[in-house]
Amino acid sequence: MPMSGLGSYRWPALFVCACLLVTGCGSAPSPLGTEQGRSATDGHIALAGRVTDAAHILTAEQIESLTHYLANFEARSRHQMVVVTVPTLNDRDVAYYTRDLANRWGIGRKGANDGIVVLVAPNERRIRIAVGYGLEKIVTNDYCQRIITQVVTPEFRKGQYYDGLILGVTGLARVARRV
């Protein structure tokens, strides 16, 4: 099932959860990857699906498993969540980078502002969780910070990117389903 891509939909004032240094390390469906041809290193990552692993830190099986989980989450909750890894932030602030991707990709439902973007930049050791306004009252900044520091980071320190991501996404989904 393809993910909704709302093109011109913008998160007018994106609620951004958390950023930290990590050591050790709906609408009608539309086609994915509308920005094909742009390279990951120029800051324009093409949407490849619910999981866009431009940093190549996940196996094909891990991407498939995470994608399946995110598709089920969206089917049950109608909220859209994507995971993206980037090889570099190109000296850009991780908050702006994540917000720009969310805006460009149109994550979440138009009018509901209910998208979540989990961004990992392993080379810069940065993680960002950006949450649309429609979910910010329940998926709070404090909760995102706890997910990053208590769930994701310990796994990343062990080199277990998939484990950290699936545990983090599961924690976010558990709370977001309440809305």
pLDDT digits (tens, 9 = 90+) for 64-91: 999 999 999 999 999 999 999 999 999 9
- How many domains in the chain? 1
Q: Choose from 8-12, 41-45, 99-103, 158-162 the range with maximum mean pLDDT.
A: 158-162
Residue 10 included in any domain: no
User: 18-32: per-residue pLDDT in tens?
Assistant: 333 332 332 223 233
Domain with 82 in it: 18-176
Q: How far apart are the first and last CA of the chain?
A: 23
> Which of the four pLDDT bands, split at 50, 70 and 90, describes residue 113?
confident
Q: Which residue has the tokens 């709370």?
A: 175
Residue 94 included in any domain: yes
Domain CATH code at residue 167? 3.10.310.50
Residue 5 included in any domain: no
Q: What is the pLDDT of residue 13?
A: 34
User: 124-158: per-residue pLDDT in tens?
Assistant: 999 999 999 899 999 998 999 999 999 999 999 99
Residue 36 included in any domain: yes
Task: Give me the torsion for CA of 155, 23, 80, 89, rounded to 10°.
Answer: -150
Q: At what angle do helices 161-176 and 60-77 cross, to 10 degrees?
A: 0
How does strand 80-85 pair with strand 126-131? unpaired
Q: What is the pLDDT of residue 120?
A: 96
Residue 97 included in any domain: yes
Residue 9 included in any domain: no
